[in-house]
Structure 1
Amino acid sequence: MNEILNVHVVYGGKSAEHEVSLKTALNVLNRMDKRKYNVYPVYITRHGIWRMLPRLDHALASTAELETEAGPADGNAAASMGNWLTRRLAENGPHLVFPVIHGTCGEDGTLQGMLELADVPYVGNGVLASAAGMDKVMMKRIFTGAGIPQVEYEQLLRHEWEQRETACCDALERTIGYPCYVKPANLGSSIGIRRCADRDELLLAIGHAFRYDRKIIIEKEAAGREVQLAVLGNDRPICSVAGEFAREPGFFDYYKKYEAGNLVQRIPAQLAGSLREQLREYALQAYRLLDGSGLMRIDFFVTDQGEIYLNEVNTLPGFTPISMFPALWEKTDGTTYAELIDKLIGLALERHEQKRKIRYGREDV
């Protein structure tokens, strides 16, 4: 008889997207079948301290039940992490980690690297795909090399800005112009992003973005709809139908996404057949270029003239009540939330088993 799988849902973290991670964790924990898995919530505080919660056997009412303050016995971040590795993961039975940390220190390959070293299977993308997909500049450079259309962009490093502020503005006005968007290179959920229509707004936006990262990206505005597709799989990925949020024009900021409470999903998005197929081809191409595994949400701009621009990829998309990724699969093939979780766990185990076949020592011929 097979042993029941211990699933450790890791959430929170040192990220500006901490609160979004809690919402995702609440949904994942509540929808996970407790008859199939031993489910263990693992909370990482805003200061990076790992906190182990008891095995979950009931539904949670709110995200407040997922947060717990660190105590003196937890020590520092390294000690608390080591405590989790040596106590919880050393217990008998098979283990798997389900990361639902959005943003830095969870979605950017850092957590994935630690789990690779610990030889623990985990849901989602590996180190390379996570790191490259999180860094908007690196992501765009990879896609540019493959000929995937994107809006014009420039990167800016903090030390360049501090030394040549006026010259940087002059150069950006020549190459990108207005309106434009200023974004931290390594963040999501529209945090740290501002739209600029003139130099005064550009100066404020750059200063704001550098609060979240040492590298930022400035992009030319693409006037059009934002359309999203979901990709699922390992070596043979499949793509969902396209979806979009029916909303008023303008910047889709954090408040509109998570707090306004008036988002309406439109699935499938209203697109001509040729556009639907081209979006699907670009989404699968982007997934393979990053060597994706498990899941990825890929976002595009589609103009009124039918032009397509790949905006960004999300290597750990949200699973909140208004998140697009699970909704896209439900509308594509009827996959329920619980079934989607099962598929992701299965893909994680499949990828881990593939890695275990790799030989790391020298073999004499």
Structure 2
Amino acid sequence: MHAWLFRRVLALWENKARAFRWEMWLGMLPLLFLAARGSVGTFPLTPNRIPSQGALVLDHAVVNGPMALAVAYAEWRRSNKLPAVSRGELEAAWRTLEGTPLPKDPLAAMMRRFGVLSEAPKPHIVVLQMESMGAAVWDLERAGVDLLGRLRAHLHEMFVFPRAVSAGLGTHITLERITTGAWLKHISRGPYRRNALFGAYPEALARAGWHTLFLTGGVLHWSHFDEFLPAQGFQELVGMRRIQEAIPEAQADGTWGVFDEYLFRYLQQRLLTARRPLFVYAMTITNHSPYHLPAHATPQRITPPEAWVDRFIRPEEAPKALAAYRYAADQAG
């Protein structure tokens, strides 16, 4: 029966559908393109875009062998390769900086203990990394442009550095440098992403009794944060899937993850229900291009000075970018 059907189909193909072959192939090209791309969204399907059920073990098992090999090769080509440092070079650098011979344990010599901190009650600590936050924002605020919304009312409770600039040109580069102090780029995307770095303060906070939590509205695979951050002392990672489980109505922006208001709602829930001191490093995503806002949000009409608009690579995006930033800052407040 199967052989008969096969012969019939083959005969139909050879005798009656010959004139339509080119049309068939032309129609299949878009399907082949979509199959190769793996997605109809903003980005093609990559390991960064394959969150499953929020369990990192399951997420790591999703990637197939050829894709993993291709990604590994691409990472190897662009990764930073740290040069080997000899004992003599280390001794010379120490003598130049300290004026003394290199001690037996250099790391111990660079540490100092403060007993007062260990005895005092431990408060919750929240570090918020916001896209595009820097001196330019304060320039506009001083010019009378409302970019902070409800966040402005809390400035007196914060340490504010109005002349601050970004730690790096790029979201993941900034996060790497703020959390570890390392000045190399793309560590999380390279072969050293699973290595614990000496300047990673989340590890010190974890040892001191804080529960260290990384929180983002996006996917945890992005820039291999799911591998890099645990090595730096983060005990728990929460991304868009966990936020959507806790807040079922959480909407996604279609590009990066859930909107920032849901990230802040989840953060508030964790702080109110925590049974031990929390250290939270939270990273916003809504004020990142393409600057989508939730349907129920009313974008603020912000008209910046012309000289400030010229700083944009694409000046036509300035109004959307400022409205998205104002939304994120207002939700933080």
TM-score relative to the length of structure 1: 0.23
Q: TM-score, normalised by structure 2?
A: 0.25
Report which of the two has the higher share of helix. Answer: 2
User: Which structure's CA Rg is the greater one?
Assistant: 2
Greater RCO (Cα-Cα under 8 Å, separation 6 or more): 2
User: Going by fraction, where is strand more abundant, 1 or 2?
Assistant: 1
